[in-house]
Chain A
């Protein structure tokens, strides 16, 4: 199991050091600093073995988090734990920065004592942790006996992510379907790979212990219902259903029920959380098409023309569009003409950045650039990195639709109809690249 956990700043100074196991000595702290943080060459693996000690690290801005072990631990678990650790810290004090870590070191030690015991991760749900790790030590003494046992039963219980007795005057929930659409396209416009990775994020402000059921236009479910229900209805909804390649759920979702009935039922945590992630690869709506044209004119000049076409309903508006056209390292000057938005050559980033604030569907726009090059005797050809794009669209490129989210709370007197529900769809670009 995890033998120790260290947090360093960018200089390699240790900010937090917690050792859980006897086989990890103080020298491990230095070994990581010397061999990874200060390594001459950039480290090429997130797992490093130094003198039979294994180090797992992740970086958050310029803070290094490292877990150390001498055993054959579950590596996936260690990384998952490190991420979770980051989540917990952010939930307590915001951004993970040197300043914040130093200011909250007592809290971090307290958290580390709670969520990792002898190197075994324990309950690390912030909702539960916040009930008893408060940084107001004296207050915790005044918990009544009931309160105390409520805390412990929550921390260890089946529903560790939610506490009893939550009350809201207005029962409300917000569902965000956030998708990132990824594309790799060949210069000829052939889709080399495309997939959508989506998340359903929920903000729930519901009283009591509500039992929720979430439904979407999952092809498997709809086909099943189509068979059971009337054929007409099945045909109609079948058209709009989508094939989900795979999905994963927050631990509140009853997985065995999903496995057997493909229904998503759960008791949600209070507040913000991610209900599910999913992945689709079929029938993806690619919101933009990029058509590049690069011509080398002699050895010192490049002509680049890029056309972008928006491919969605004309009534919808895409936002925050940014096209990034890489330029060779020996670029000396760039002349740009664009039909829409603003374009700039950024020498420090070796790229032309073309920004358009808004663009409606079924439109097209174009940029042309003349790139002057310094003559070099470098034999190596320019690698021509792909043209990448960023954007945001108000629909789900996978075609996912939320069909319902039903809330039942038998003990309290509110019904599904009393809950105010909001649904929003946002499609963003993930890695959206076209080779040129």
Chain B
């Protein structure tokens, strides 16, 4: 006789029959009937009508039957609360049973019955069970407190169960400890600010002791709880790490990953030069690799986590590339994840192997996998410069296979390679053009069109090619339409004579026949631009594009930090913070890594404070982090603290609303117009555009931020006017929702000083200063004639200098300078003169000639004159660059006695083209991350720490040419104190 028959009864009148059987006198029959009821319940039939009859069977000596009845009760009690009360007596009685298994069963089941009246009766038995002599009952009661808390949190607090639960942490039985920890952790999650789990060195010690003795599951509970603790100092941190590392050899992967989580987190606090730090790093790699021989589902979870770990600490697995090679029989989800990690680990040392593998994968069957493999080849090219050539030739080989999706994917990545290495691989264009007809995916078509437009001058039949796309213009996707519009305008600017008709055609298609606002607006912008000022049009459309960065797909650092705290959990699988997928209060609490003791060596952990509390310092300036909408759209979560006047930290609600409107308007960066490259194709992985705002290409192009598009599209009429204003500001003001001051002040310019005293120059006195006005460096001088005779025929020359400064025109002193007369002259300077390194760096040797003689003097210019308007780095690029520049190049300075808040600082600096890219607040300290670019293309990255109430700021500068740091610092000081 088998039980499977219970699943098959579908007769009519079944309920009635069951009722009779349940009330039968025969024990066996009763039991059979209950089994049938449970089977029906399982398959989803409603058997709630049998409630009283089933409950009647509860009073039995048969444990199996009792358990079945309890199962039924748990399911239906909620729908029949009045009748459920009938069961209470039995529960209370069972809680007194001499058999501990029955006592535990009763308290376990009772907690699952979510009926208020029953809950009231539960309190007394639960209190007894929490102090039961039998550990089995105590461990069950511990979990029951969590159950009760879920039903009625107030009751649990009022009854003092929390204290009893806390006492159980010191229980002699390891499993009781583990369950108490689990229950407390869960309860603590819904009371983020309570000090429920009161983790102190004593409790930690107890937990670590229990860790060695309890079941594998208990070890997981304890490790996950430990991960929430922040040690007081590096010594405590190390001693905990030492006691956790043995867990790395546990057979249960979850124990291993939870241990990895604790170690990854506590490692932050260890000084890097500590021997133990290195030892720990070495110990982490083998268990991570071992996880890859687990079952595929576990491999998947492990790989998603390794992806995070590799981003945070690439050194751990840098030699383990081979284990991530894809096996033919791996499930697809494992393959895709391995591929991702392979790219992250790719370096010059292993690139040959990686490429050979990727090429192999590109011939596999699964389309998604093949595409990703092809794309990976492109990413390798961008990441490892030395391999670019090999990657390109591999991609060409793949194009020769003529497999449609391979070709298309290859073209998309080749476009990126062009962006990274302009003017290097254009010889392949011909091959690409051969495949024009086979492209049927928008992304590939758009990429191809971009290539044709960008290199129109080298493609003889560019006009024909583009024209062929134009025929079906309205059937194309927006992405292709936009790209086609831009490409044809580019073509026109390069070959104006032959393509006039074509450009007319595309403009009218875009502006008159299209109902897509983005397309129309872009069309109008071009149209006006071309008709008003073709030269400006050329400057705008054909401007030099910023290079793309290799690390475009890194997880945003604050998110990464948070995810590292969630290793092993769902958050680490989704790569999203828990708030993005957990409802209610649970998990909304943001976790952070503790500050490292070894000073800010990287952008993510720049705070020197050794023990940043976990819950105590939620980054208040970044409200959109908790913003569900933002999370869901997968937007870059933390907005770069705008350099324009930021509204005072407003409530998350407000910003959330703004997000809704503009898809992240608060992240609107004030981008100077000159730098913009309306034709730069948006990188596929550069800035994920929100799904409801797909046609943001224009925005993305113009502003580098999808949000810009939204704001931009609205008033296109303003555009031509603002194009002439090369300084950022106009636009910034227009769209600045904060409604602040904008850019009213100009770049900092020091007061004039006397450069050449009259004594030394036969009566000619020159005082002067430097200024940057409207993007032009000017040398502003007052020439005074202190001699007795008229001076004429002025001319000026510079000696070679560090940044190639040279007069852009003659010295405009038209009228003769009479005795005792002064004249103001402004001499525009260019930076294309001959270069020679000077000492000090910003020294400039000048020769001035007049009808009397030639005079020499030297002066120093503030280096801030050389900060160009497009010195705002992409956040990702900033991050990558910061990491990339060796620490030796970092220098730190103190700015004393400055009484500005961080916003004012940011504004002031911004007006001198020092751009704030991001802002973070850590324990009342504002960290501003800034970038500036010198006229010769040198980037300087800065991290400025401003502490409220402390007039001394710290600025750390990183630059590939560290010599400039001193000058930059002087400028900082001058700008801020001015």
Chain A residues within 8 Å of B, Cβ to Cβ: 1, 13-23, 26, 29, 44-47, 49, 52, 54, 56-58, 69-77, 79-83, 99, 102-106, 109-110, 113, 117-118, 120-125, 132, 135-138, 140-141, 143, 145, 148-149, 151-153, 155-158, 160, 184, 192-193, 195, 197, 245-251, 254-256, 258-260, 274, 276-277, 279, 379-381, 383-386, 388, 431, 433, 435
Contact = CB atoms under 8 A, between A and B. Distances in A.
B287 A110 contact: no
The 7 closest A-B CB pairs, nearest first, are A137-B64, A246-B286, A102-B4, A152-B136, A259-B246, A77-B254, A76-B254
A29 B44 contact: yes
Contacts of A156: 135-136, 139, 173-176
B762 interface: no
A389 B429 CA distance: 44
A13 B10 CA distance: 15
Contacts of B295: 58, 79, 83
Specify which of B224, B252, B333, B336 lies most central, judged by the most chain A CB atoms within 10 Å of its CB: B252
B435 interface: no
Contacts of A77: 217, 220, 254, 258, 568
B573 A184 contact: no
Contacts of A386: 328
Interface in B134-160: 134-137, 139-140, 143-144, 146-147, 150-151
Given A22-B114, A245-B286, A76 B257 contact: yes
Given A70-B583, A152-B100, A120 B179 contact: yes
Interface stretch (B298-306, B804-812, B836-844): B298-306
B427 interface: no
Given A140-B63, A152-B101, A156-B176, A279 B578 contact: no
A146 to B, nearest CB: 12
A105 B114 contact: no
B68 A109 contact: yes
B38 A109 contact: yes
A46 B294 CA distance: 14
B785 to A, nearest CB: 78
A384 B363 contact: yes
Contacts of A197: 293
Contacts of B302: 76
Contacts of B116: none
Contacts of B568: 74-77
Given A123-B217, A255-B250, 12 more contacts: A18-B71, A21-B150, A49-B574, A79-B301, A80-B253, A122-B215, A132-B101, A138-B61, A143-B99, A151-B101, A256-B212, A260-B246
Interface stretch (B319-327, B478-486, B714-722, B763-771): B319-327
A217 to B, nearest CB: 18
B250 A22 contact: no
Nearest to A260: B246
B363 A246 contact: no
Nearest to A180: B293
Specify which of B176, B182, B333, B570 lies most central, judged by the most chain A CB atoms within 10 Å of its CB: B570
B68 A246 contact: no
Contact of A259 (B35, B39, B245): B245
Contact of A74 (B44, B67, B224): B224
Contact of B583 (A52, A73, A79, A160): A52
A245 B175 CA distance: 32
A76 B296 CA distance: 12
A110 B173 contact: no
B134 A149 contact: yes
Contacts of B368: 44
Contacts of B108: 113, 117
A246 B150 contact: no
A47 B173 contact: no
B958 to A, nearest CB: 36
B254 A47 contact: no
A251 B250 contact: yes
Contact of A117 (B38, B140, B212, B253): B140
Given A118-B143, A141-B61, A381-B363, A246 B586 contact: no
Given A17-B42, A140-B63, A46 B297 contact: yes
A110 B578 CA distance: 32
Specify which of A45, A141, A379, A381 lies most central, judged by the most chain B CB atoms within 10 Å of its CB: A45
A47 B2 contact: no
A357 B140 CA distance: 55
Interface string B69-83: 011000100000000
Contacts of B349: none
Nearest to A258: B249
A137 B63 contact: yes
Contacts of A17: 42, 44
Contacts of B501: none
A72 B256 contact: no
- Mostly helix, strand, loop or mixed at chain B's interface? helix
Contacts of B111: 118
A220 B834 CA distance: 64
A148 B254 contact: no
Given A80-B252, A381-B401, A54 B39 contact: no
Contacts of A259: 245-246, 249
Interface of B: 2-4, 6-7, 35, 38-39, 42-44, 61-68, 70-71, 75, 98-101, 104-105, 108, 111-112, 114, 134-137, 139-140, 143-144, 146-147, 150-151, 173-176, 179, 182, 186, 212-217, 220-221, 224, 243, 245-247, 249-254, 256-258, 286-287, 289-290, 293, 295-298, 300-302, 322-323, 325, 327-329, 332-333, 336, 357, 360, 363-365, 368, 401-404, 566, 568-574, 578, 581-583, 586-587
Contact of B101 (A72, A148, A158, A260): A148
A76 B261 CA distance: 12
A124 B286 CA distance: 27
A148 B99 contact: yes
A72 B569 contact: yes
A103 B8 CA distance: 12
A140 B140 CA distance: 19
Given A72-B570, A145-B98, A151-B101, A54 B252 contact: no
Nearest to A17: B42
Contacts of A140: 63, 101
Contacts of A29: 44
Nearest to A154: B136
Given A46-B296, A58-B297, A79-B298, A72 B44 contact: no
B245 A16 contact: no
Given A135-B64, A149-B134, A258-B246, A71 B173 contact: no
A311 to B, nearest CB: 22
Nearest to B337: A45
A109 B289 contact: no
11 contacts: A72-B582, A73-B570, A77-B254, A80-B254, A109-B68, A118-B146, A120-B179, A153-B135, A158-B174, A255-B212, A381-B363
Given A47-B573, A76-B302, A248 B297 contact: no
Nearest to B357: A192
Contacts of A23: 583
B215 A103 contact: no
Contact of A184 (B62, B186, B298, B327): B327
A250 B251 contact: yes
Specify which of A16, A76, A125, A184 lies most central, judged by the most chain B CB atoms within 10 Å of its CB: A76
A298 B332 CA distance: 33
Nearest to B4: A102
Contacts of A138: 61-63
Given A72-B578, A193-B323, A245-B289, A109 B571 contact: no
Contacts of A250: 251
A59 to B, nearest CB: 10
Given A140-B63, A246-B286, A246-B289, A22 B150 contact: yes
A155 B136 contact: yes
B581 A49 contact: yes
Contacts of B587: 71-72
